[in-house]
């Protein structure tokens, strides 16, 4: 899944972001010429008072304040009085002020995050039926007006007057030589580089919440997928959320004799979701049977309806879902676009996602993805897969899991094992110390981490929710069926839970053990995904059904490559769709639907059809992140690349725990600086490509 963060939304206008700290570029020199009548005279006055050595700081501080000072903040006299009263020249007082800002920010961020988390409990957790009030509470962002309040109170201007904003170029270049306190000061100033109105931020938050709730309730009852003769491939009670559980079921079916038929059925369901030809009546409905190949809907025979099926009147209505998927996607775009005028340094949500949140330019990310997508290793690995499968590759092999140890085990066996071990969320929470011990953490450290993580049953597929102040704890959410014939955590839920546990452990270390809470977190979402992948790769070992060996290690490398290749194209589709929306801001949901289909088909035909067939498949548009987590998908292929580099480093020491801790607590510096500290090399595709080539030579 992913780490889902309740951010101080006004500090991160393009959701989601890894850190509540948002660094940004220096402001334009002439942003608000009416803020002061004679800025040069004021600068000279302050230099005369504080000394020539302070000139550069005074000049930059005044420009930074002027760039965001508005008429309602006061006239020229008020601006002058503020600058006279709040410029700090004394180094000790400046250090004390940074410390005070850091302490205050932690408390403000942390408590507002907790309020938002509690308001979202009924929507996020499987704790009973939603009330009509719950979506409204979930959509309200208690932090929406925070930044504006901090500007109105002049608190933000104190930071801008005394601590320098930095450009991305400065952070990438000069940042390599900064000490930790300089980094903390840069992150503090960066929080106030933009001034997005609370009303705009509230709309962004509401759109994201509505999209998440739409996806959280988008389930398919698999027993009711039928063939032309009424044949049923899936067992009763199997209720899968799109796309995560559908994809994971497809992966699990490689170990099933009926696997190819099941997989082709899932692929057809996915394609109908993307094209919005899925009948609206069959979504989360166990009282209707549906043939996704013919699109025929019938009322399910009484004997085939699940015992826990909701009571409702149904009719076999084949009417398609009316483009709700694209309504939600476009609502996210429209809301995010309203923040554009308040971010001249990164004037689109796309720019903010790369330049401010990832701190890796879009062109560099795209180049890394294409380096994998266009690698000559792809047809070689595909040939090995064909040999192992004994058939031609098909579109479902986008998610081939035969390089993973789990492919050796039938999913029902794994389900039975995980359901017995984890009947409730509390059972998984109680097992966290053992899991962490198995990953090489000391018993004391494992106990500390377990005591700082809360486990909840998720309404959706699952996510990890950070804490933002010491004294509060990250939350792990995973899906646990509480009713029906098969209660408890199935293997899919367990696999997700281990992934989310990786997020949570990172979140504990990067908050509780970082030297400056202004640097809490990691550089961007891709890094927390990478660290979570490190945990997830060990799920079967932790379950006690697999052991690592040389052949498994070679296959792990090939699996990492294939997973990166798979999600790399999806990420390109996600970014291309946002470019299309910016080019067509007044389009209708149906036009967006057609555009997504076109972009997905073109990307498929370029990179995937030559390997997997299925020309013109819209399959790359299935990922739910496109709807509910705007511009997030690039973090997954980046996360795979980063995870591989981390795992290679871990291999050198032989234990995940100590290396994971050393890396995670380094904090939110730039991606390359973090990676060089962690592994000795910057972020890149080269290590994975070289290792995959070597693994191919030795794999069977």
- Read off the pLDDT of each residue in 57-72 and give the average, rounded to a whole number: 94
Looking at 325-334, 441-450, 525-534, which range is the least confident one? Answer: 525-534
Q: What is the pLDDT of residue 28?
A: 38
CB 281 within 8 A of CB 315: yes
Report phi then psi at 9, rounded to 5.
-60, -35
What DSSP element (H or E) covers 250?
A: helix 244-252
Query: Is residue 157 over pLDDT 80?
Result: yes
For position 1, what pLDDT does the model report? Answer: 46
Given a cut of 70, is residue 377 above it in pLDDT? yes
Comparing C-alpha atoms, which of 145, 162, 167, 159 is closest to residue 191? Answer: 159
What confidence score (pLDDT) does residue 651 get? 84
Instruction: Write phi, then psi, for 411 (nearest 5 degrees).
Output: -55, -40
Can you tell me the distance from the alpha carbon of 219 to that of 309, in angstroms, rounded to the nearest whole number? 13
Kindly state the average pLDDT of the residues 565-577.
98
Q: What is the mean pLDDT of the chain?
A: 90
Tokens for 256, please give them. 């099933």
**pLDDT tens digits for range 379-401:** 999 999 999 999 999 999 999 99
> pLDDT band at residue 699, thresholds of 50, 70 and 90?
low
Q: Which residue has the higher pLDDT, 88 or 130?
A: 88
Q: What average pLDDT score do residues 623-649 get?
A: 93
pLDDT digits (tens, 9 = 90+) for 577-593: 999 999 999 999 999 99
Residue that is written with structure tokens 């020229």 in the block: 76
Higher pLDDT, 4 or 509: 509
Cα separation, 248 vs 262, in Å, equals 12
Angle at 85 between CA 84 and CA 90, to 5 degrees: 95
Q: Does residue 25 register a pLDDT over 70?
A: no
Q: What one-character DSSP code corresponds to residue 231?
A: -
Q: What's residue 405's pLDDT? A: 67
- Beta strands at 462-465 and 475-478: parallel, antiparallel or unpaired: antiparallel
- Contacts of residue 601, Cβ cutoff 8 Å, sequence gap at least 6: 616, 617, 618
pLDDT for 508: 98
Residue 587 in 3-state DSSP?
A: coil
Flag whether pLDDT at 169 surpasses 60: yes
State residue 423's pLDDT score. 94
Distances from the Cα of 428 to the Cα of 116, 252, 348, angstroms: 25, 22, 41
Secondary structure letter of residue 409 according to DSSP: S
Which range is least confidently modeled, 256-260, 286-290, 483-487, 633-637? 483-487
What b/e sequence results for 173-211 when a residue is b if at least 16 CB atoms lie within 10 Å of its CB, and e otherwise? Answer: eebeebeeeebbbbbbbbbbbbbbbbebbbbbbbbbbbb
CA 473 – CA 455 distance, rounded (Å): 10
Q: How many CA atoms lie within 13 A of 198 on its CB side?
A: 13
Task: Give the model's pLDDT for residue 691.
Answer: 92
| Confidence bin at 438 (pLDDT 50/70/90) | very high
């Amino acid at each position: 899944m992913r780490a889902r963060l309740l951010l101080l939304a006004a500090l991160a206008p393009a959701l989601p972001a890894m850190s509540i700290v948002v660094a940004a570029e220096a402001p334009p020199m002439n942003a608000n010429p009416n803020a002061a009548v004679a800025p040069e005279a004021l600068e000279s006055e302050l230099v005369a008072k504080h000394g020539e050595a302070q000139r550069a700081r005074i000049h930059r501080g005044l420009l930074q304040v002027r760039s965001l000072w508005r008429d309602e903040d006061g006239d020229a006299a008020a601006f002058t009085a503020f600058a006279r009263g709040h410029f700090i020249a004394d180094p000790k007082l400046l250090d004390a002020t940074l410390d005070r800002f850091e302490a205050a920010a932690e408390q403000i961020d942390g408590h507002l995050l907790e309020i938002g988390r509690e308001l979202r409990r009924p929507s996020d957790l499987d704790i009973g039926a939603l009330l009509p009030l719950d979506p409204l509470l979930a959509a309200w962002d208690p932090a929406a007006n925070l930044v504006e309040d901090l500007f109105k109170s002049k608190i933000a201007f104190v930071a801008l007057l005394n601590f320098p904003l930095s450009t991305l170029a400065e952070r990438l270049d000069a940042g390599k030589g900064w000490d930790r306190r300089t980094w903390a000061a840069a992150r503090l100033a960066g929080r106030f580089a933009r001034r997005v109105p609370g009303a705009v931020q509230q709309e962004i938050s509401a759109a994201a919440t509505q999209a998440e709730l739409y996806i959280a309730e988008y389930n398919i009852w698999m027993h009711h997928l039928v063939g032309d003769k009424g044949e049923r491939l899936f067992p009763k009670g199997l209720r899968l959320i799109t796309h995560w559980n559908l994809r994971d079921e497809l992966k699990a079916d490689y170990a099933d004799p009926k696997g190819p038929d099941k997989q082709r059925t899932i692929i057809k369901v996915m394609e109908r979701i993307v094209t919005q030809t899925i009948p609206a009546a069959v979504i989360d409905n166990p009282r209707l049977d549906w043939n996704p190949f013919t699109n025929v809907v019938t009322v399910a025979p009484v004997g085939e309806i699940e015992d826990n099926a909701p009571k409702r009147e149904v009719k076999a209505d084949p009417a398609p879902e009316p483009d709700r998927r694209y309504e939600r996607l476009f609502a996210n775009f429209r809301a995010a676009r309203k923040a554009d005028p308040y971010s001249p340094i990164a004037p689109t949500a796309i720019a903010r996602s790369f330049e401010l949140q990832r701190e890796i330019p879009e062109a560099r990310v795209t180049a890394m993805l294409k380096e994998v997508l266009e690698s000559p290793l792809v047809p070689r690995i595909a040939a090995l897969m064909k040999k192992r499968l004994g058939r031609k590759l098909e579109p479902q092999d986008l998610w081939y899991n035969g390089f993973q140890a789990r492919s050796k085990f039938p999913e029902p066996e794994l389900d039975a094992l995980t359901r017995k071990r984890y009947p409730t969320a509390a059972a998984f929470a109680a097992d966290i110390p053992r899991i962490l011990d198995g990953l090489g953490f000391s018993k004391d450290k494992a106990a500390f981490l377990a005591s700082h993580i809360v486990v909840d049953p998720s309404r959706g597929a699952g996510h990890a929710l950070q804490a933002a102040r010491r004294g509060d704890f990250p939350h792990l959410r995973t899906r646990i069926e509480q009713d029906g014939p098969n209660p408890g955590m199935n293997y899919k839920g367990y696999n997700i839970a281990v992934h989310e546990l990786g997020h949570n452990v990172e979140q504990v270390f990067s908050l509780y053990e970082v030297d400056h809470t202004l640097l809490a977190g990691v550089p961007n979402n891709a890094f927390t995904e990478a660290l979570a992948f490190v945990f997830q790769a060990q799920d079967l070992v932790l379950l006690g059904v697999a052991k690592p060996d040389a052949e498994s290690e070679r296959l792990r490398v090939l699996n990492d490559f294939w997973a990166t290749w798979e999600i790399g194209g999806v990420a390109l589709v996600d970014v291309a769709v946002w470019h299309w929306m910016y080019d067509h801001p007044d389009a209708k949901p149906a036009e967006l639907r057609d555009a997504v289909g076109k972009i997905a088909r073109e990307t498929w035909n370029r990179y995937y059809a030559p390997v997997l067939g299925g020309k013109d498949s819209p399959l790359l548009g299935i990922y739910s992140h496109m709807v509910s987590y705007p511009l997030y998908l690039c973090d997954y292929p980046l996360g795979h690349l980063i995870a591989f580099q981390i795992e290679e480093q871990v291999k050198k020491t032989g234990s995940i725990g100590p290396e994971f801790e050393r890396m995670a607590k380094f904090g939110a510096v730039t991606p390359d600086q973090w990676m060089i500290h962690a592994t000795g090399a910057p972020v890149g595709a080269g290590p994975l490509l070289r290792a995959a080539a070597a693994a191919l030579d030795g794999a069977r």
